[in-house]
Structure 1
Amino acid sequence: MAPTKNKRQKREDYRAALREESVTELPRKKFYRQRAHANPFSDHHLIYPPSPDQMDWSSLYPDYVVEGDPMEQNEPSETAADQSLRPVKPKRLSKDVEVADIGCGFGGLTIALAPLMPDTLILGLEIRVSVTQFVEDRIKALRAQNPDTKLYRNAGVLRANTMKFLPNFFKKGQLSKIFICFPDPHFKARKHKQRIVSTTLNSEYAFVMKPGGIVYTITDVPDLHGWMVQHFDAHLSFERVSEEEQEADPCVEVMRTETEEGKKVERNNGQKFVALFRRLEDPSYDAVV
Structure 2
Amino acid sequence: MPGQPNKRQKRDDYRTSLSQSEHRIQLPKKKFYRQRAHANPFSDHVLTYPESPDTMDWSPYYPSFTITNENESHEDTEISNIPHLSKRVEIADIGCGYGGLLFALAPRFPDQLLLGLEIRTSVTEFVQEKIKAMRQQNSETGLYQNVACLRANTMKFLPNFFYKAQLSKIFLCFPDPHFKARKHKARIVSSTLNSEYAYVMKPAGVIYTITDVEDLHNWMVEHFEAHPSFERISKTEEDVDVCVKIMKSETEEGKKVERNGGHKFVACFRRFEDPPWP
> Which amino acid in 2 is paired with 1:115?
P
Separation in structure 1 between the aligned mates of residue 114 and residue 45 of structure 2, nearest angstrom: 24
> Take 1:166 and 1:38, find their aligned partners in 2: how far apart are those partners?
17
Residue 276 of structure 1: SS of its match in structure 2?
Answer: strand
Aligned partner of 2:232 among 236, 240, 258: 240
Structure 2 counterparts to residues 28-177 of structure 1, below 5 A = 28-70=29-71, 89-177=81-169
1:158-209 Cα distance to aligned partner (Å, 9 max, x none): 0000000000000100000000000000000000000000000000000000
CA offset digits 1:234-289 (Å, max 9, x no partner): 00000001111111110001000000000000000101000000000000013xxx
Within 2, Cα distance between the matches of 1:244 and 1:212?
A: 17
| Structure 2: distance between partners of 1:192 and 1:45 | 24
1:265 aligns with 2:226: no
Is the 1:112–1:258 contact (alpha carbons within 8 Å) kept by the matching residues of 2? yes
Tell whether the 8 Å contact from 1:69 to 1:92 is kept in structure 2 after alignment: no
Q: Is the 8 A contact 1:218 1:275 kept in 2?
A: yes
Q: How many residues align?
A: 271
How far off its partner does 1:71 sit?
8.2
Unpaired runs of 5+ residues, structure 2, are 74-78
Distance 1:113 1:223 in 2: 28
Q: Which residue of 2 aligns with 1:15?
A: 15
- State the partner residue of 1:192: 184
SS in 2 for 1:285: coil
TM-score, reference length from structure 1:
0.91
Separation in 2, partners of 1:120, 1:41: 31
What aligned pairs does 1:1-12 form with structure 2 within 5 A after superposition? 3-12=3-12
The residue number in structure 2 matching 1:80 is none
Structure 1 vs Structure 2 CA RMSD = 1.5
Whole-angstrom CA distance in 1 between matches of 2:243 and 2:251: 12
Q: Report the CA distance shift for 1:149/1:222 in structure 2 as closer, same or farther (over 3 A).
A: same
Quick one: distance in 2 between partners of 1:71 and 1:249?
35
How far apart are the structure 2 equivalents of 1:144 and 1:3?
36
Structure 1 residue 3: Cα displacement: 4.2
Query: How many Å separate the matches in 2 of 1:22 and 1:152?
Result: 17
**What is the percentage of aligned positions where both structures have the same residue?**
66
2:132 and 2:15 mapped to 1: Cα distance? Answer: 12
Partner of 1:81: none
Aligned-residue offset at 1:23: 1.6
Which entry has the higher C-alpha Rg, 1 or 2? Answer: 1
Which residue does 2:76 correspond to in 1? none
Q: Distance in 2 between matches of 1:188 and 1:267?
A: 26
Bigger Cα displacement from structure 2, 11-20 vs 269-278:
11-20
Question: Shift of the alpha carbon at 1:4?
Answer: 3.4
In structure 2, what residue type is equivalent to 1:47? T
Asked whether the equivalents of residues 99 and 176 of structure 1 are also in contact (C-alpha less than 8 Å), the reply is yes
Q: Is the 8 A contact 1:256 1:262 kept in 2?
A: yes
